[in-house]
Amino acid sequence: MPTLASLRAFEIAARLGSYSAAARALNVTHAAISQHIRSLETHLDEKLFTRAARGMELTQAGHALSGSLTEGFGMIISGVRAITDERTHRPVIISTTPTFAEVWLMPKLGGFWTEHPDIYLQVQPYMGLSNLRSEGIDVAIRFGAGDWPGLDVVPLLMSPFAVVCSPDYTEAESLDEMGDLNEIYWIFSEFSSEQYAWGNRIGMDFKQQDFRELASNALTLSAVRSGLGVSIQSRVLVEDDIASGRMKVLYEGDPEGIGYYIVTLPGVLSPQVKTLRNWLLRNAEDVTTVEEIETEISEESDAL
């Protein structure tokens, strides 16, 4: 086969009727178009253009090839457009934990739908660690330290951690009043790991200390509300419980980099995914940090 570049140069020159017009269309020099067509003629061992009084004219072979190429390139363009249009109109898939989806994301989504009615979102609550590429996920909101290699990671919420319980569990108002912390009924989700890092901050080693492990954080929060024990939670997940009096804070500390992050595959994001990511950042609590992140993202995009 001849090179695709030479075929494209010839097709445009034949359709527009001149080498100069083809050069302008492809943003190359007249000499480049001429060289491509000479190469194609050599490959085919056929003259495709002849000189005439009013410029270049197609030979019989040129006419035949031109018609086939115009149809062929048209089919290619249609195929590419079909794929890009499908990507543009397909749902933006978000993966996050069920608790974060219920407590933080879903109450805010009405605002997103009002602002962007043309973008359809599909939320996939999932306790495990999703594989963005193989599972077709556009945006993941992950909880952790942000150290996921091979992915683009942007901080979303660095909420303080809080040791919480129901007022029915104890009359104490702080951990200092609780006495021996080893005697407390601690409750965590089987998928959580932050209690190990945050536990050290309060003098607890949960790799050695026994605790009750439930199947999800939603069950953990329900157990704490029911007065069954004490848990360590990102404060953003229990803010409503604290405000309503269903839970009280026994201790609050700095998250030390553990929090919620927006995670995407590396590379150019679709306009819909960019819109969602920027909306998430604007709805995060730390507006100053969000503005700095958006500026950094913009600078990185310009560099690309």
- Number of domains into which the chain is organized: 3
Residue 106 one-letter amino acid = M
SS3 category, 232: strand
Residue 294 above 50 pLDDT? Answer: no
The answer to whether 87 and 270 are in contact (CB under 8 A) is yes
pLDDT band at 302 (very low <50, low <70, confident <90, very high): very low
Q: Domain of 20: which CATH number? A: 1.10.10.10
Per-residue pLDDT at 89: 66
Q: pLDDT digits over 161-180, tens only?
A: 999 999 999 999 999 999 88
Sheet holding 248-253, edge to edge: 230-234, 161-165, 248-253
SS3 category, 131: coil
Q: Domain of 293: which CATH number? A: 3.40.190.10
Per-residue pLDDT at 186: 93
Same domain, 134 and 102: yes
Residues 231-246 have a mean pLDDT of 93
Of 28, 59, 88, the residue that ends a domain is: 88
Residues 28-36 have a mean pLDDT of 92
Same domain, 263 and 209: no
Same domain, 218 and 150: no
Enclosing domain of residue 21: 4-88
Residue 155 above 70 pLDDT? Answer: yes
Of 67, 88, 109, the residue that ends a domain is: 88
Q: pLDDT digits over 123-152, tens only?
A: 988 766 677 876 788 899 988 888 888 899
What is the reported pTM? 0.61
Q: pLDDT digits over 279-293, tens only?
A: 999 998 543 343 444
Residue 61 one-letter amino acid = A
